[in-house]
Structure 1
Amino acid sequence: MSEKRNVPKLRFPDFSGSWSNKKLEDSFVSSRKKGSEGQPIYSVSQSKGLVPRDSLERVIQQDAKAEQNLLVESGDIAYNMMRMWQGAYGVSETTCMVSPAYVVVKPKKNNLSIFFSYLFERSRSRYLFTIYSHGLTLDRLRLYPNDFLSIPVASPSLPEQQKIAEFLTAVDRRIELLQYKKEKLEAYKKGVMQKIFAKKLRFKADDGSEFPDWEEKKLGEVGKTFNGLTGKSKENFGKGKPYIQYKQIFDSSEIKIEGFGLVEVSENEFQSKVQKGDVFFTTSSETPREIGMASVLTNDVREVYLNSFCFGYRPNSIEKLLPEFSRYFFRSPIVRKGIVKLAQGSTRYNMSKVELMRLSFEIPSPKEQLKIAKFLTSLDRSIENLNQQINHTQTWKKGLLQKMFV
């Protein structure tokens, strides 16, 4: 029974036999050796592992003197004892120093830190880090070195550790490459949107002819506003008719119809119903930068309503202001700049519908709108394809972590 439990479900054919039951003290030793003046200072990040401290966006107070910092050598693992249960650790690839508030452990002979770093990613390991920590609440948990070293683990021979680590490192490289491609494509899209809506990049008709000049119009000339639900209490939500939720609008330039909420609406109530081509705006935010985020309904719907904390904008004609174009237009840099200026408040910011309708913007002809929309939609599809590949690979890796370890 013990032998069966100590064999992973997924294993390279070169290896056989049971993994050894150990404690982490059999594989690591705690180190409080001090660093030296001039050595780079690193920090532990939950998302990035061990990274140069000055590469982090957050401001870190430098209380410790250089000679008080802990030495970390290549292959060592440093972890934040208050956040180890959340995965705040990293394997060092160089000689550096970390804050004395961290814990540094060195691998013993025939133990590979990279292998253990993948072992630590497993949900079982995170659970053990939690129960071996001391503290009354999660935000006060601390995994002290002696408790860390007393945690039970099962590990194979060094050659099998190396094989597993090499394979999972290749999987991580694949994820990193996909994330890099996605970031580059998102940056390209952002840059090209700036050029399109500043008219530095113009499209041509299929026959090569120029499109007409863009026409400047006030939003109030192109459409009109309408309110969301009124007279509703929390008891009315959770069943009934579909309605567009605040988060649907804030999170995306296009309404995802699978995200509708439900609200009770009786037949004799007068409530505004939404339709294809409508644009929805958030009216309140914690920062001016997030005021007036817009999202467009690009699908035909039957009976759908709008939440109480947003308002709608209905173009006079969706043949003249295409829904496919609107989703990009109302989130373009030039339109966002105009909307942000409308933010009023000190701790909570609000926006006036009346003032929004007074804003003027240049709008291209419907045929050029379609060209712009098709181009930007193709970029979004490519970004979404990369995102799906990333999610698929990350899910695959999670499965590997459960099957390749004991």
Structure 2
Amino acid sequence: MKKDRKEKGNCPNLRFLEFEGEWVECKLLDIAQKITIKNKDRRVENVISNSAQRGLIPQLDFFDKEIANNDNTSGYYIIENGDYVYNPRKSVTAPYGPVNIYKGDHLGIVSPLYLCFKVKNINKDFLFHFFKSSSWHKFIYLNGDNGARHDRVSIKDETFFKLPVCYPKTEEQNKIVEFLSLIDQRIETQNKIIEELKKLKTALVDKFLKPKIYWKKVRLSNCCSIRNGLSLIQNDSQIGYLVTRIETISHRYIDLNKVGYLETSIDISKYKLNEGDILFSNINSVSHIGKTAFVDKKYNLYHGMNLLRLVTDRSILNPYFLFLILNTPKSINKFQSICNQAVSQASINQTELGKFSFSAPPLSEQNTIAEFFKKIEKSIFLETRKLSCYKKQKLFLMREMFI
């Protein structure tokens, strides 16, 4: 690929070597036509949602229930294979709303809140990748209206159709589509690899952690100290002790963010986490209660988390084995069933948490099980990091290959 070609005219920064010449610039209205046909007779029942991450999919697949019904779809627009749909709803992955192409075999209908259009004289998949890039964001930012809702882009249809679109000759469009489609396939394959590893882990957890006759019953309060995290006190004069909270709990590996500073008079030492500690989510939504993370670095403990630290001799219990036990669906369901939902945020009482009991095999067997699952978790972590690299690579290419 060639680089740094913008000084030579209307060309992207990255381009395949065999192509020369400037790209054509037009307005979207030159190659697109708004879809205005509505489902007046309600003959089409296939309601389609526009998801930033999953594209145009049947509403039932997206929401797990029908939001629209046959009585309120007469104002919906009818779309067919190859049509585009713009959803002005903002998200992290689509900061100016997603534009997706419909690939369904049957006619679909979409909400009148969406903008639908057909295109001509351009490779449809090339335009699809253009809308997956950030090249069109600046136009929306500069031309969108200041709407009342912060979660939606407010832009008139006629303004949206004035969006500038740059494109090369058909052969180059096809080459770009083929190249980016290969990257998408690799990302999809990587997602499947991670999903299969997670399924494998779940199946093996069911097998290896199923109590045997010779396993002994253990009560959590008898093997662990349970400690609350520290609430933050915002004050500009406070010094910067790093405090962390769990943003995302994903098996053994956790994402931790700096969220504030601690009052200088507080003894920070008792909030230090040690390797082998277990963080337990004790306050939040019910679905978050009971999620755990295994500490493998030094951090401080944040409010909303319980610290579980072994007080028994480690010749009796392996901390990572305990972490696996706490992570089973059966354990999480138990924690969520005993949490207090009468307050604004669901929470779990330390005394109730301490009553939790489980069965454990001899230490040698615990160690074997723990090391085995650590290896699986390491594989999931490495494959997930690889996926992140693929996605970053694609973002870079999308930024450099379009104008």
Whether 1:363 and 2:363 are equivalent positions in the alignment is no
Provide the C-alpha distance between the structure 1 equivalents of 2:367 and 2:158, rounded to a whole number of angstroms: 64
Provide the C-alpha distance between the structure 1 equivalents of 2:82 and 2:68, rounded to a whole number of angstroms: 26
2:32 maps to: 28
Provide the C-alpha distance between the structure 2 equivalents of 1:79 and 1:381, rounded to a whole number of angstroms: 39
1:400 CA displacement? 1.0
Q: Percent identity?
A: 24
Retained in 2: the 8 A contact 1:227–1:308? yes
Which of 368, 386, 390 matches 2:387? Answer: 390
2:126 maps to: 115
Provide the C-alpha distance between the structure 1 equivalents of 2:264 and 2:252, rounded to a whole number of angstroms: 25
Over the aligned positions, Cα root-mean-square deviation in angstroms equals 3.2
- Taking a change above 3 Å as real, the CA distance of residues 282 and 38 of structure 1, as seen in their structure-2 partners, is closer
Retained in 2: the 8 A contact 1:43–1:52? yes
Paired residue secondary structure (1:306): coil
2:294 maps to: 296
- Show structure 1 runs of 4+ deviating over 6 A: 267-270
**Structure 1: which 5+ runs fail to align?**
201-211
1:252 CA displacement? 4.8
CA deviation profile, 1:187-233 (whole Å, cap 9, x unmatched) = 22123223322248xxxxxxxxxxx9211021222233344448x73
Between the two proteins, the alignment pairs up a number of residues equal to: 387
Provide the C-alpha distance between the structure 2 equivalents of 1:189 and 1:98, rounded to a whole number of angstroms: 40
1:404 maps to: 401
1:157 maps to: 169
| Equivalence map 1:2-401=2 (5 Å) | 4-34=8-38, 37-38=43-44, 40-57=46-63, 59-62=66-69, 68-81=75-88, 86-93=96-103, 94-99=105-110, 101=112, 102-108=114-120, 110-137=121-148, 138-139=150-151, 141-199=153-211, 213-229=214-230, 233-235=233-235, 239-243=239-243, 245-247=244-246, 251-252=249-250, 254=252, 263=262, 271=270, 273-287=272-286, 289-299=287-297, 305-315=300-310, 316-346=312-342, 347-401=344-398
Paired residue secondary structure (2:179): helix
- Taking a change above 3 Å as real, the CA distance of residues 33 and 363 of structure 1, as seen in their structure-2 partners, is same
Provide the C-alpha distance between the structure 1 equivalents of 2:60 and 2:303, rounded to a whole number of angstroms: 44
Provide the C-alpha distance between the structure 2 equivalents of 1:115 and 1:404, rounded to a whole number of angstroms: 11
- Taking a change above 3 Å as real, the CA distance of residues 163 and 218 of structure 1, as seen in their structure-2 partners, is same
1:30 CA displacement? 1.6
CA deviation profile, 1:373-401 (whole Å, cap 9, x unmatched) = 12211211221222122111111111111
Provide the C-alpha distance between the structure 2 equivalents of 1:341 and 1:369, rounded to a whole number of angstroms: 27
Q: TM-score, normalised by structure 1?
A: 0.83
Retained in 1: the 8 A contact 2:45–2:70? no
Retained in 2: the 8 A contact 1:228–1:271? no
CA deviation profile, 1:62-120 (whole Å, cap 9, x unmatched) = 37666644332322212224558633221122442223512221112x31121111111
What amino acid does structure 1 have at the position aligned with 2:295? L
CA deviation profile, 1:262-315 (whole Å, cap 9, x unmatched) = 64556978845543433333332222x43243333345x5xx643344333321
What amino acid does structure 1 have at the position aligned with 2:288? E
- Taking a change above 3 Å as real, the CA distance of residues 239 and 76 of structure 1, as seen in their structure-2 partners, is same
Which has the higher Rg, Structure 1 or Structure 2? 1
Retained in 2: the 8 A contact 1:298–1:323? no
- Taking a change above 3 Å as real, the CA distance of residues 239 and 135 of structure 1, as seen in their structure-2 partners, is same
Paired residue secondary structure (1:111): coil
Provide the C-alpha distance between the structure 1 equivalents of 2:229 and 2:89, rounded to a whole number of angstroms: 45
What amino acid does structure 1 have at the position aligned with 2:306? F
Retained in 2: the 8 A contact 1:215–1:362? yes
Provide the C-alpha distance between the structure 2 equivalents of 1:144 and 1:156, rounded to a whole number of angstroms: 28
CA deviation profile, 1:154-194 (whole Å, cap 9, x unmatched) = 11112221211121111111111111221222122123223
